[in-house]
């Protein structure tokens, strides 16, 4: 019997002294559910009092804030064109319902916008996560948050975790590296920045999101997948030794330097005490001393791969200067002027922060203090390193401008604790300027092949080692090692990008299927081209699949820049996932003129190239299509009916255009995938998106759950892709995983990683990422069984508009019938 099953059967003992209301447990929900943990740590208080990071007279407020539960925060994604519509829906409906509401004797504060976040797209409230999940009065609001989080329109993310991507100041043409990306809430912010202009399906830039933990990479895929971007690639490497990548530029390979790098490193996480209550009893200065070296290696590796003029953001969810200013100071010192701290004090107006400190001391876990390296006894040299202390030269220290670092204290704006530093690269790192030993400085006609950037053991080297090994550092832009002939190394002529050979890299976790780019003259394109009348500008070369054998079941698209990266680095990098699904194979689809139907998750990428089978629909048509599973043509408006009736059976695009003369209707375009049957039409839209669009149309969406005897498959089919109509073409076993796409389906270890992995391990990258600050809120409470309890097997019902009767609906998810077609003529492939 599992641990959870045992806990359900064994009656819980009531603590001694608890009254009939359970004593202190009566407030457990409001306090975050950890009343038994004493929020005291004498060493913590002694350490930070001595360092003086808290202004005089504010210590009690600082400690009081740390003992309070962290408020719930949410961010409306700016990526979708209908962010403003959702914001209006939140303000006018859900926030109003929270007015004058009391839960467990506490007045619920109406959510307020974060003053420093642009366009009112981030909000916070005094509700803790536990009370939000468990209170009956807040059930509708919680369901709204879960549904919108799953569809990618809301990210439930801690406030301070939103700061680093904003300071990165990314633009659509930037090449971005997120070095410690899981669980992925910051990565989604970066993707949104790439897609600032939704009319451009393929931005020039891209995001490469890396994490050292193979399992957490799948959580990262789950997060990024919600946004449906062709410009994201998830890779699995140790950030301290992440390999240099190359791109084909004019027939030659050049080292890839990034315009923006987010370096959100593993940390001790004492800024997350309000959420990770265990930190109170586990906190010790030893955690910081052990992590300092890793943090410095990761930051150094990031600086090496940054382009001149580029921006690197270093951040932690720790308040400790050993992990913060000490790392930044050491990086600046070894850069010898190649890096400098940027003054970002005016970039986020409204944000309250404290400047970085110039002087600090180091304390051991037993409370012994050291003010400089000379005072450290020899037997402590393995634990305490010289880079942990501030520079001894006052002029050098002053020139570093450590006061430009930002430290966010919890009591200033009711947030978690956080540290951010923004560095700009002015020149190549010094060890990259010097030619490697034994290599002639005379120009050569043919550049040598690149050497591995890091030792086989996977640990980053320090600069002295880099100087002694040819090719160890990234070459300076003028160096001959920057370029080499394309045909000399690692290119895959057949367009197949498989995992790197085991001899060159230790691989852990799940074996990934290859990424196979489909030749432009492949016969499958002819039927697709004819059926959908694709524009001549459609980039066929960017279409890929995940199998080299058998029928191609799913087709994905990436941007041309990511295609370049994939084809030229298959020997160097372990790619977990990339691309957005645009087509899925139908069984017997040839009978309808095309074997592939459109996939909703990639429709915004693909739609601009489709010139046929596009049906214009009105707001009323959208309501009918989303509340009835297979409405007959006659239920549509006359304009939509006239377009549909002459179309052949098969996949269609349903396009809603806003009408400025009707301000009560959504004022943003909506694109849906549908299926034109014999006499009816249906939409292939995931449940969460269906609910989202109904809310945009002004209808109150309700979910009617089945009883205990509901179809067991209903819950599991709620796994994202199956709800998007994949049941209709045979992907009933989890959508993308049917074609072996373990990276995309989240099922390889998938969403099992997405609850427990995201919540709490401060040493392995949750804290690491500043996202323990947003760890399990990033993917929110999707992981806490709100979306896998069979709701997809339930029904979506639109509440009646004033003066109208309720519209009855059919189940969104159904069992597969035994006959080959459903009422709409959509084929099934069991």
Q: Could you report how far apart the first and last alpha carbons of the chain are, in Å? A: 33
Q: Which of 630, 580, 646, 648 lies closest to 221, judged by CA?
A: 580
- What residues form the annotated binding site? 180-186, 211, 238, 264
Q: Which of 267, 75, 293 lies closest to 185, judged by CA?
A: 75
Strands 112-113 and 418-425: unpaired
Contact status, residue 704 vs residue 794, Cβ threshold 8 Å: yes
H helix or E strand, kind and range, residue 236 = strand 232-236
Q: Which residue has the tokens 């003529």?
A: 825
- What residues form the annotated binding site for S-adenosyl-L-methionine? 180-186, 211, 238, 264
Contact status, residue 471 vs residue 435, Cβ threshold 8 Å: no
Angle between helices 687-696 and 139-150 (to 10 degrees): 110
**How far apart, in whole angstroms, are the C-alpha atoms of residue 439 and residue 259?**
29
Q: Which of 404, 434, 739 lies closest to 584, judged by CA?
A: 739
Strands 339-341 and 418-425: antiparallel
Evaluated on CA atoms 744, 749, 755, 761, the torsion sign reads: negative
Structural Rg of the chain based on CA atoms: 28
Burial class (CB in 10 A: 0-12, 13-18, 19+), 95: middle
Say which residues have a Cβ less than 8 Å from residue 435's Cβ, sequence separation at least 6: 441, 479
**How far apart, in whole angstroms, are the C-alpha atoms of residue 243 and residue 305?**
9
Question: Cα 204 to chain center, whole Å?
Answer: 20
**How far apart, in whole angstroms, are the C-alpha atoms of residue 83 and residue 89?**
10
Which residues are marked as active site? 317
**How far apart, in whole angstroms, are the C-alpha atoms of residue 701 and residue 34?**
34
Three-class SS of residue 314? strand
Contact status, residue 512 vs residue 743, Cβ threshold 8 Å: yes
Helix segments in 67-138, DSSP class H: 83-89, 95-97, 129-134
**How far apart, in whole angstroms, are the C-alpha atoms of residue 564 and residue 814?**
41
Contact status, residue 677 vs residue 597, Cβ threshold 8 Å: no
């Amino acid at each position: 019997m599992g641990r959870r099953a045992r806990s359900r059967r064994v009656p819980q003992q009531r603590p001694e002294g608890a009254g009939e209301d359970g004593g202190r447990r009566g407030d457990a929900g409001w306090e975050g559910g950890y009343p038994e943990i004493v929020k005291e740590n004498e060493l913590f208080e002694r350490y930070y009092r001595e360092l003086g990071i808290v202004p005089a007279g504010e210590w009690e407020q600082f400690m009081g804030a740390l003992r309070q539960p962290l408020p719930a925060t949410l961010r409306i994604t700016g990526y979708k064109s209908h962010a403003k519509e959702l914001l209006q829906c939140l303000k006018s409906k859900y926030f109003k319902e929270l007015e004058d509401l009391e839960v467990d004797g506490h007045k619920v504060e109406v959510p307020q916008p974060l003053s420093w976040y642009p366009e009112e797209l981030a909000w916070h409230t005094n509700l803790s996560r536990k009370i939000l999940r468990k209170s009956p009065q807040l059930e509708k609001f919680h369901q709204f948050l879960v549904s919108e989080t799953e569809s990618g329109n809301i990210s439930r993310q801690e406030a301070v975790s939103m700061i680093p991507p904003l300071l990165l100041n990314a633009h659509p043409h930037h090449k971005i590296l997120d070095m410690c990306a899981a669980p992925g809430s910051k990565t989604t912010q970066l993707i949104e920045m790439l897609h600032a202009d939704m009319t451009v399906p393929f931005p020039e830039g891209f995001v490469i999101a890396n994490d050292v933990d193979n399992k957490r990479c799948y959580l990262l895929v789950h997060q990024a997948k919600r946004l449906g971007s062709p410009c994201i690639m998830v890779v699995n490497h140790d950030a301290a030794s992440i390999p240099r990548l190359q791109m084909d530029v004019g027939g030659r390979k050049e080292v890839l330097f990034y315009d923006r790098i987010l370096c959100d490193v593993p940390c001790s996480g004492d800024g997350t005490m309000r959420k990770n209550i265990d930190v109170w009893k586990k906190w010790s200065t030893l955690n910081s001393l052990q992590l300092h070296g890793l943090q410095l290696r990761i930051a150094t590796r990031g600086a090496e791969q940054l382009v001149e003029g580029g921006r690197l953001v270093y951040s932690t969810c720790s308040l400790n200067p050993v992990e913060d200013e000490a790392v930044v100071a050491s990086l600046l010192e070894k850069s010898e002027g190649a890096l400098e701290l940027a003054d970002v004090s005016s970039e986020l107006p409204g944000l309250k922060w404290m400047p970085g400190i110039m002087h600090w001391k180091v304390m051991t876990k037993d409370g012994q203090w050291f003010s400089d390296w000379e005072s450290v006894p020899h037997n402590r040299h393995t634990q305490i390193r010289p880079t942990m202390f501030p520079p001894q030269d006052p002029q050098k220290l002053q020139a570093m401008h450590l006061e430009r670092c930002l430290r966010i204290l919890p009591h200033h704006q009711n947030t978690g604790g956080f540290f951010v530093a923004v560095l700009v690269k002015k020149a190549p790192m010094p060890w990259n300027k010097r030619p490697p030993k034994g290599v002639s400085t005379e120009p050569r006609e043919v550049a040598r092949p690149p050497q591995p950037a890091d030792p086989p053991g996977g640990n980053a080297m320090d600069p002295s080692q880099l100087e002694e090994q040819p090719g160890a550092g990234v070459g300076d832009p003028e160096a001959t090692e920057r370029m080499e002939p394309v045909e000399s190394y690692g290119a895959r002529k057949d367009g197949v990008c498989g995992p790197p050979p085991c001899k060159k890299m230790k691989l852990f976790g799940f074996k990934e299927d290859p990424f196979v780019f489909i030749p432009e003259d492949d016969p499958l394109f002819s039927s697709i081209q004819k059926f959908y009348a694709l524009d001549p500008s459609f980039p066929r070369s960017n279409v890929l699949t995940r199998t080299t054998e058998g029928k191609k079941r799913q087709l994905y698209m990436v941007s041309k820049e990511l295609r370049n990266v994939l084809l030229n680095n298959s020997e160097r990098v372990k790619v977990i996932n990339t691309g957005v699904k645009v087509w899925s194979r139908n069984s017997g689809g040839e009978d309808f003129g095309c074997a592939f139907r459109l996939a909703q998750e990639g429709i915004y990428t693909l739609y601009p190239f489709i010139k046929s089978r596009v049906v214009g629909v009105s707001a009323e048509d959208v309501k009918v299509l989303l509340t009835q599973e297979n409405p007959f043509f006659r239920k549509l408006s006359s304009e939509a009916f006239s377009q549909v009736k002459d179309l052949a059976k098969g996949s269609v695009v349903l396009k809603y255009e806003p009408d400025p003369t009707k301000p009560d209707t959504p004022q943003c375009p909506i694109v849906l995938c549908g299926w034109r049957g014999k006499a009816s039409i249906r939409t292939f839209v995931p449940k969460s998106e269906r609910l989202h669009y109904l809310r945009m149309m002004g209808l109150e969406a309700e979910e009617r759950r089945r009883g205990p005897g509901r179809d067991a498959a209903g819950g599991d089919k709620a796994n994202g892709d199956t709800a998007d109509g994949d049941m209709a073409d045979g992907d009933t076993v989890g959508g993308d995983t049917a074609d072996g796409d373990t990276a995309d389906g989240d099922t390889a270890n998938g969403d099992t990683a997405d609850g427990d992995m995201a919540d709490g391990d401060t040493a392995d990258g949750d804290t690491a990422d500043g996202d323990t600050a947003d760890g399990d809120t990033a993917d929110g409470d999707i992981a806490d069984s709100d979306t896998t309890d069979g709701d997809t097997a339930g029904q979506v019902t639109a509440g009646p508009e004033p003066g109208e009767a309720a519209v009855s609906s059919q189940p969104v998810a159904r069992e597969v019938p035994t006959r080959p077609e459903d009422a709409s003529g959509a084929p099934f492939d069991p």
